[in-house]
Amino acid sequence: MQKLKIGLAAALMAFALGSCKTYQQGYGKNNSEVDLLEKADWKIDTLRKDVIWYQYSSTTNPEFAYQNVNVVSFNPKAKLGNAVLAYEKEKDSLSVFASKIPGALAGINATYFIEKKDSADYMHLRLKGKDLQQVKVPKSSIYWWKHQGMMTFNNEGTQFDIQFSPENFASVKSENIITGAPMLIADYKPVGLSFADTSGLKLDLKKLHYEHYLKHQGVRHPRTAVAVTKTGKLLLITVDGRNAAAKGMSAKELTQFLVRYFNPKSAMNIDGGGSTMMWIKGQVPNGIVNYPTDNKKFDHYGQRQVETALFIK
């Protein structure tokens, strides 16, 4: 495949877009235009009428202490903007990606492309009806779970859906697909609560292969996720981790967190860990508002280079 230039991503390679009582109470209950269900421990900033930035931080919350979470909500029904999935074979940092997307307001790392030719540890990527990378993972593979979910979207970037992936992506009619895992919420059902629940297991997770789903998703790490609400809003989510001030979450904890505070219709974990990054226009020093971990410092400079990024503009 010929190298694609980021500057052409919007036209050529982008899609327009512009337990716990609390989750038991929220389970299955659909909310209209309300994003945030509890405001304690949250800061709220309006980036544009249709783009809201929510920042969570707490040292005292009994369920989610020492967590640092950023969520950006985009309402396409306002018809004020869109979002772009940019792909570039030559990796770059999220802040550099953002500088090449005209009108970008906010963005996150998306997910990863091929890392090893003999590996199934990559995503299925379809843009503008073309499968740039296809995935077929046998159940016998250590990576079998990596493509459990998929986000589909229209070329205009105004309609999004997150659901379980089929065995054959050729059956999916959507012109745009990115995969991720695990599914956290499916039609309001918090399926992520049980996907890699290690509570009560008499198992030494350290002895498991790093890509084993229990070790990968059953422990705390930085997380990146996407979600879709009942009214069609798109949520971009980052959870910081690997620091005493931000411990990170397991897939189960992230599911609990999203149901408690946002109760989206669907949600999916995507590429996280050292890749977890969120960019907001105009924020100092470089637009990165979370705390990437690759430099092993709790600052905004530890960006990892990535191949895909999802922006709201």
- pLDDT, residue 226, reads 98
Mean pLDDT taken over the chain: 87
Q: Looking at the predicted structure, is the pLDDT value of residue 9 above 70?
A: no
Per-residue pLDDT at 312 = 97
For residue 104, the one-letter residue type is A
Phi and psi, residue 46, nearest 5°: -95, 110
Place of tokens 């949520």: 235
| 19-39 residue pLDDT tens | 333 333 343 343 345 689 999
Contact between residue 95 and residue 83 where contact means Cβ atoms under 8 Å apart? no
pLDDT in the model for residue 119: 59
Rounded to an integer, the average pLDDT of 223-229 is 98
Q: What is the pTM of this model?
A: 0.88
More confident call, 118 vs 257 = 257
Q: Which residue has the higher pLDDT, 24 or 81?
A: 81
Q: What is the pLDDT of residue 83?
A: 81
pLDDT at 143: 84
How far from 312 is each of 56, 80, 83, 132, 233, CA to CA, in Å?
20, 11, 4, 22, 12
pLDDT for residue 84: 85
Mean pLDDT across the stretch 222-242?
98
pLDDT tens by residue, 142-162: 888 988 999 999 999 999 999
Token pair 């995935």 is at which residue?
135
**CA atoms within a 13 Å half-sphere pointing along the CA-CB vector of 221:** 20
pLDDT tens for each residue of 129-146: 999 888 877 778 888 898
Choice between 111 and 55, residue whose per-residue pLDDT is larger: 55
Would you state the pLDDT for residue 290?
Answer: 98
- Report pLDDT for 205: 87
Measured at the alpha carbon of residue 212, what is the angle toward residues 228 and 226, in degrees to the nearest 5?
10
Q: In this predicted structure, what is the pLDDT of residue 14?
A: 36
Please write the tens of the pLDDT for every residue from 109-129.
Answer: 998 765 555 555 678 899 889
pLDDT at residue number 56: 98
Q: What is the pLDDT of residue 118?
A: 53
What one-character DSSP code corresponds to residue 175? S
**Does the pLDDT at position 1 exceed 90?**
no
